[in-house]
Amino acid sequence: MPSSAQRVTCHSKTNKEPVMTFETVAIIAQGDMGAGTGAQLVRNGLRVVTNLSGRSERSHMLAKQAGLEDVGEDNALIREADIFLSILPPGQAVALGQQMAPHIKSSGKNLIYADCNAIAPATAQEVQAIVEPAGARFVDVGIFGNPPTPEKNGTRYYASGPDAAEFGRLRNQGLNVIECGDEIGRASAIKMCFASVTKTMIAMMAETVVAAKALGVYDEVVHELSGNQTDGFNWAAKRVISTPPKAYRWVAEVEEIGKTFETVGLPGATCTGGAEMFQLIADSPLGEETVENRQRGTTLEDCAAIAADYIGGLKP
C-alpha cells in the first residue's frame, strides 16, 4: 500500500506501474548520496556504472563499497546505460549536463537523464535545455532524506516531467519514487521549499553558537535555548554537528534556494546568508572533516569553538 505522502502528492500521468525495468544505470558522481543510491540499486539487482577518472580516493572507496562498476570514460558510461542519474553538488549540475551532452548526441540514444540535484526549478530547466537537444529525455528529481542503507531505506525521490513515469520504473529496484507532475521544475520546487527550512535552521543555529562562543556567552545562550526551545535546539544542534563534511555542498544548494524564492518575488537574502555561513564552515578546519573519520567538531561546543577561532584569525 502506498505511503500517505504518495497518496497525497502523486499526480503522474498514469496509475499503472511500468512493467519493464532498467538493466544498467549510470550515476555521476560517487559521493554519499550517489554511492548510497547506487548501492540500493545494486542490492536490487541492477548493474550500476560510473566514471571514476580524476575522482578522489574517497570517491573510489565509496564506489567500490557500493558495488559501482568503473567504465573509465563518459562515452562508455552513456553507451552502456539505460538511464543516467546526475547526483552531485548542485553547483556542478549545469556543467555535468554540458559535459555529457556530446556523448548523448554521439550515442544516438534516447536515454533518460534524471537530474537529482538540489537545484532551483530554473536551473533544472537550464539543464533540460542542454541535454534534450542532444537526444535525452529529461526528468527533474528532488531527493529527500539521508542516503539509503541496507538497514534503512527512507530516502524519497520526487520526480516530475513528461517522462517521470520512466524514472518511476526504479521503484521496482528499491527506490522510493514519488511522481509529482508533468512539469519540469516541480520536483525541484518541492525540494527547494523543504530544504529552505532545514538548511536555514541549521545555518542559523551554527551562526548563533559561533557568535555566542566568540562573544564569551556560549554557556548562557545554550542554557536558554536548550531549556526554552528544547525540541528545536536539539534538532538543530544535532545537525550542526553533522554539517562539517557536507558544508561545501550546501553552499550552492542554499544559493539555489534563494534563486528559487526570488523568482516568486521573495527575498533570497534569507538563504544567501546561510550560504555564507556554510562557506565559512567549509573554509575553516572543520571543512577538512570526512563522514567516515570525524576528528574535530564532534560536539556543538567544539564546532562553535573551532569556527570562532577561525573567524578570529581572519580579523586584521
Q: What is the 3-state secondary structure (H, E, C) of the chain?
A: CCCHHHHHHCCCCCCCCCCCCCCEEEEECCCHHHHHHHHHHHHCCCEEEECCCCCCHHHHHHHHHHCCEECCCHHHHHHHCCEEEECCCHHHHHHHHHHHHHHHHHHCCCCEEEECCCCCHHHHHHHHHHHCCCCCEEEEEEEECCCCCCCCCCCEEEEECCCHHHHHHHHHHCCEEEECCCCCCHHHHHHHHHHHHHHHHHHHHHHHHHHHHHCCCHHHHHHHHHHHCHHHHHHHHHHHHHCCCCHHHHHHHHHHHHHHHHHCCCCCHHHHHHHHHHHHHHHCHHHHCCCCCCCCCCCHHHHHHHHHHHHHHHCC
Q: Has residue 250 got a pLDDT over 90?
A: yes
Phi, psi for residue 300 in degrees, rounded to 5: -65, -40
Measured on CA atoms in the order 38, 67, 101, 18, is the torsion positive or negative?
negative
- Would you list the domain boundaries of the chain? 4-184, 191-309
Domain at 4-184, CATH class: alpha beta
Q: Which residues pair with 48 in a beta bridge?
A: 25
Q: What is the pLDDT of residue 21?
A: 66
Q: How confident is the model at residue 13 (pLDDT cuts 50, 70, 90)?
A: very low
- CATH superfamily for 191-309 is N-(1-d-carboxylethyl)-l-norvaline Dehydrogenase; domain 2 (1.10.1040.10)
**Contacts by 63-67, CB closer than 8 A, 24 or more apart:** 63/30, 63/35, 63/38, 65/35, 65/39, 66/30, 66/35, 66/36, 66/38, 66/39, 66/42, 67/38, 67/39, 67/42, 67/43
Q: Has residue 1 got a pLDDT over 80?
A: no
Segment 193-205 mean pLDDT: 96
Q: How confident is the model at residue 194 (pLDDT cuts 50, 70, 90)?
A: very high
| pLDDT digit string, tens, across residues 234-245 | 999 999 999 999
Amino acid (1-letter code) at residue 89: P
Q: What is the pLDDT of residue 192?
A: 97
Q: What is the pLDDT of residue 97?
A: 98
The answer to whether 190 and 20 have CB atoms below 8 angstroms apart is: no
Q: Has residue 37 got a pLDDT over 60?
A: yes
Backbone angle region of 299, left / alpha / beta, with phi > 0 → left and psi within -120 to 50 → alpha: beta
Better-predicted residue by pLDDT, 316 or 143: 143
Q: What is the pLDDT of residue 168?
A: 96
Q: Measured between alpha carbons, how far is 192 from 187 in angstroms, rounded to an integer?
A: 9
| pLDDT digit string, tens, across residues 256-309 | 999 999 999 999 998 889 999 999 999 999 999 998 899 999 999 999 999 999
Segment 37-63 mean pLDDT: 95
Q: Which residues pair with 237 in a beta bridge?
A: none
Burial of 152 (0-12, 13-18, 19+ CB in 10 A): exposed
% of the chain surpassing 90 pLDDT = 88
Grid cell 542516503 in the structure block, residue: 147
Q: What is the pLDDT of residue 131?
A: 98
Q: What is the pLDDT of residue 166?
A: 96
Mean pLDDT score of the chain: 92
